[in-house]
Chains A and B, each alone.
Chain A
Amino acid sequence: MGSFVPATDHDRKEMLSAIGTKNIEDLFGQLPQEVLLKDGLNLPNGMSEMEVNKKMEGIAAKNTVFPVIFRGAGAYKHYIPSIVKSVISKETLYTAYTPYQAEMSQGILQSIYEYQTMICEITGMDVANASVYDGASAAAEAVAMCRDRKKNRAFVSAAVHPQVIETIKTYCFGNGMELTVIPEKDGITDLDFLKEHLDSQAACVYIQNPNYYGSLEPAEEIGGIAKEANARYIMGVNPISLGIIKTPIEYGADIAVGEGQPLGLPLSFGGPYIGFMACTKELIRKLPGRIVGETVDSNGKTGYVLTLQAREQHIRREKALSNVCSNQALCALAVSVYLSAMGAEGLKQTAIQCMSKAHYMAEQLETIGYSVVNQGEFFHEFVTTSKIPVDQVMGKLEEHGVLGGYPLTGERAGQILWCCTEMNAKDDIDRVIGILKEV
């Protein structure tokens, strides 16, 4: 049995004596006898560290690690600089708790303050929180932020990632907000529908840019329509794209959210990821989650504290706007280190490479009969038709250690959502074209 309990028989004896009881079991006297687990748990016995190591390695070996990936759809393979792993492996940083005792947690608080600053810099917004669970829950929290007594309807584009739409729906089932999905037209948000249906009940408009299919949305126009209707404008954005693409603030957004995984977090079979949330000054007190602020100590020295806590659950309880307690601190740290290592220039280059490789691949695919479906601009994801059944395409690519684009479903069954990042070398792209030509 593996154990992390240091107590010896001698320790137990001394402690029980100090307490004044004979056995540890006596300390459980309040538990109803009729439901005590008399025969213990129906579980296998514990194992030594060496055995567990072997077992878990065996389980990991049952997964296929694809050396080359052309699939995004919400989770992106980017290069993670070695310094990121080095920093987040520092034991003090990953075994620390939420910095409630500010005087002994200045390091954690400062690193969150730096993260908040970086998120504001990439999105152009005034204020950011210390992070939430992921992009989907960030979107749902942003929508909830916009609720007020007179406006209870959220308008969400159908061109948003389906799992994000689903998450917003679930949160609305909870908080009672109404949800209207704005249909897509030609692969982007249907502006006519939006203009027609946005009314005085509209709390917010949420779009994703680039959208689920990789296309750039008419974000300027949508912002204008939202403003006309007095609805808040929320943009869900890909953080890498902000290296070259216009920021939410430039489009007049009130709130910017997104999935921060591309900024230094591995694919991790879906988690832990990180949701960033940033907004204009006006909405600062509606922002959920932890926020760190700068202040001074009793000697006038600069220091950092969790602030604006009166928004949060531990103070407002049932009147809190959200229940968020934990954030994704270690993930936020990874993001900060990534952005520090890349710098503005590096982020810009990464975005350029992603976009360039995707366009190169799209051109090449067209030459072998896979037509690009996106009309207008796209960033690093795009959709093509497929001449042959999609599972055959994927199967063939898999044989060569390549994870192909994501097979779309429903009305778009038969279409493939491809993604290229800076990690896809020209050689890999050419090789895939070669493979697909044969099929």
Chain B
Amino acid sequence: MLIFEKGQEGRTMTILPECDVPVSLPEEGSLRKKSMHLPQVSENDISRHYTEIAKKAYGVNDGFYPLGSCTMKYNPKINEDIAALPGFKQIHPLQPEHTVQGCMEVLKTAEQYLCEITGMNRMTFQPAAGAHGEFTGLLLIKAYHESRGDNKRTKIIVPDSAHGTNPASATMVGYSVISIPSAEDGGVDLEELKKAVGEDTAGLMLTNPNTLGLFDRNILEITKIVHEAGGLNYYDGANLNAVMGMIRPGDMGFDVVHLNLHKTFSTPHGGGGPGSGPVGCKDLLAEFLPGSMVEEEEGYVFKHSEHTIGQVKSFYGNFLIVVRAMTYLFMLGKEGVPEASKHAVLNANYMMAQLKDVYDMAYQGPCMHEFVMSLARLKKETGVSAMDIAKGLLDYGIHPPTMYFPLIVPEALMAEPTETESKETLDKVIAVLRSLHETAMTNPEALHQAPIHTPVTRLDEVRAARNPKLKHEF
């Protein structure tokens, strides 16, 4: 039941005191006449409603969540306690600088830590999500080329395995996209890249390891090819959890990066946000960074660059998310960062090793922090698809891996266990996946009906798209 269907006409809570000053109202012509239907409920009604809602949801807190490229690692509770401190939560963004030195210290220290981890020189925290960071980073590249009068550079190169936000962000910045096919081994095809670069190359967008979970060993060559053509290299930091503390994008030839604090740096996903997508860059792009940067003079001050691209949102970014990430970084420190990436890679390889005799792996050889299975052969032989196996997992109370991405692998399931899962959990999930494979071979029909133990069964998405009903009608 929707919350609008609960409660009673006239039921209210008592939140506000009486107005203690004479009432002022808008003039007749400015008054709202349109009705407004909001719930009329007690606190008890609300509390129970959302308890019910929570029962029909699944978080990292509930169990294994192996969404490839999402890095659903455990969200430490200390992050929540620190973000709730009044000294962070109740600070107005436009308070005078001398009253927010603590906030500025968080931003500056986070900048220092994350620049060290990525090999960048400066970092802005204004972008509120990964896609927002991509948009920002590409704007920096655009501003750079324009400042040098280099106006022929209109194209961004992406591999065909790229996440959809990459080409979409390029379009938002007015670039056209050249998608180059990946090589047999899943990496960037160097010959194709050499053909694609030229005077019109603004840059390359890449993630390494890529969306197939493979580290491209040719990375230094790749970034060199782009630089020699006059383009810049953009690193999509979605997969940083595989390599942080081991290697740095800045040392691999990247000029600008975005990070996903809600992936790599343990801040919670919130059901789809808020995230934080800070953008780091080398000195050559620093003058174009958006918003206010924190500088250390006698105490912290905000400075606006003369050549800034402007702002990508108001104020300084999702500050309380940065607070959580900073807390996490202080805990991990020098040794904790590579410890996380090493175990992320260990767990993924272990899971892959225990499944490869029954499921086809899209690529042979060791993976990084995630791996991709292709169920194309299973579908051909039994009719059971990646979708069916994924839905089958739901009946075991396990969140499935990412389905049907990357697009270049047919019937793909991409799994990223992360370093915070124990071996016992992995073993349990491996057993379930093996048993589902059994079911596919012996009783495929059962999986076509899955899930049957969830609050709803498979939903009619065609109906939802053809006849969109997007809100409750009163």
- Please say whether the chains A and B touch (CB closer than 8 A): yes
Residue interface bits B407-435, CB-to-A below 8 A is 1, else 0: 00000000000011111000000000000
8-33 of chain B: CB within 8 A of chain A:
12-13, 15-16, 19-27, 29-33
Q: Determine the distance from Cα of A273 to Cα of B93 in the docked complex, in whole angstroms.
A: 12
B residues less than 8 Å from A308 (CB atoms): 465, 468
Interface size on B, residues (CB 8 A): 197
| A219 and chain B: residue at smallest CB distance | B30
Interface size on A, residues (CB 8 A): 207
Q: Determine the distance from Cα of A131 to Cα of B170 in the docked complex, in whole angstroms.
A: 22
Our pick among B41, B139, B252 for the contact of A343 (Cβ within 8 Å) is: B41
Known: A60-B88, A318-B168. A301 touches B456 (CB 8 A): yes
Our pick among A12, A174, A337 for the contact of B346 (Cβ within 8 Å) is: A12
* Minimal beta-carbon separation of B250 from chain A (angstroms): 9
> Are B101 and A349 in contact, CB atoms less than 8 angstroms apart?
no
A residues less than 8 Å from B171 (CB atoms): 318-320, 323
Known: A46-B332, A47-B330, A330-B271. A167 touches B471 (CB 8 A): no
Centre residue among A74, A94, A284 by max chain B CB count within 10 A: A94
8 cross-chain CB contacts under 8 A: A35-B248, A56-B82, A100-B403, A171-B312, A242-B32, A250-B33, A271-B315, A295-B461
Known: A247-B34, A301-B456, A343-B38. A95 touches B168 (CB 8 A): no
> Are A1 and B38 in contact, CB atoms less than 8 angstroms apart?
no
Q: Determine the distance from Cα of A387 to Cα of B245 in the docked complex, in whole angstroms.
A: 57
For residue A156, CB closer than 8 A to chain B, the reply is no
A residues less than 8 Å from B39 (CB atoms): 339-340, 343
For residue A116, CB closer than 8 A to chain B, the reply is yes
* Minimal beta-carbon separation of A425 from chain B (angstroms): 6
Known: A63-B101, A377-B26. A344 touches B37 (CB 8 A): yes
Q: Determine the distance from Cα of A98 to Cα of B171 in the docked complex, in whole angstroms.
A: 24
Centre residue among A43, A94, A296, A326 by max chain B CB count within 10 A: A326
> Are B38 and A342 in contact, CB atoms less than 8 angstroms apart?
yes
B residues less than 8 Å from A134 (CB atoms): 128, 313-314
Our pick among B12, B29, B47, B330 for the contact of A86 (Cβ within 8 Å) is: B47
B residues less than 8 Å from A377 (CB atoms): 26-27, 30
Known: A6-B420, A271-B321. A307 touches B455 (CB 8 A): no
Centre residue among B135, B176, B346, B347 by max chain A CB count within 10 A: B346
Q: Determine the distance from Cα of A277 to Cα of B345 in the docked complex, in whole angstroms.
A: 40
For residue B96, CB closer than 8 A to chain A, the reply is yes
Q: Determine the distance from Cα of A48 to Cα of B219 in the docked complex, in whole angstroms.
A: 36
Q: Determine the distance from Cα of A32 to Cα of B113 in the docked complex, in whole angstroms.
A: 23
Centre residue among B41, B131, B139, B332 by max chain A CB count within 10 A: B332
Known: A292-B470, A356-B24. A46 touches B465 (CB 8 A): no
For residue A104, CB closer than 8 A to chain B, the reply is yes
> Are A41 and B349 in contact, CB atoms less than 8 angstroms apart?
no
* Minimal beta-carbon separation of B365 from chain A (angstroms): 9
A residues less than 8 Å from B102 (CB atoms): 59-63
Known: A45-B335, A308-B468. A245 touches B100 (CB 8 A): no
| B23 and chain A: residue at smallest CB distance | A356
Identify the stretch in A121-129, A223-231, A365-373 within 8 Å (CB) of chain B at 4 or more residues: A121-129
For residue A283, CB closer than 8 A to chain B, the reply is no
Identify the stretch in B70-78, B191-199, B378-386, B439-447 within 8 Å (CB) of chain A at 4 or more residues: B70-78
Q: Determine the distance from Cα of A89 to Cα of B349 in the docked complex, in whole angstroms.
A: 34
B residues less than 8 Å from A117 (CB atoms): 2, 4, 471-472
> Are B313 and A137 in contact, CB atoms less than 8 angstroms apart?
yes
Residue interface bits A80-113, CB-to-B below 8 A is 1, else 0: 0101001101111111111111111111101111
> Are A46 and B246 in contact, CB atoms less than 8 angstroms apart?
no
Q: Determine the distance from Cα of A365 to Cα of B293 in the docked complex, in whole angstroms.
A: 36
* Minimal beta-carbon separation of A297 from chain B (angstroms): 4
> Are B25 and A352 in contact, CB atoms less than 8 angstroms apart?
yes
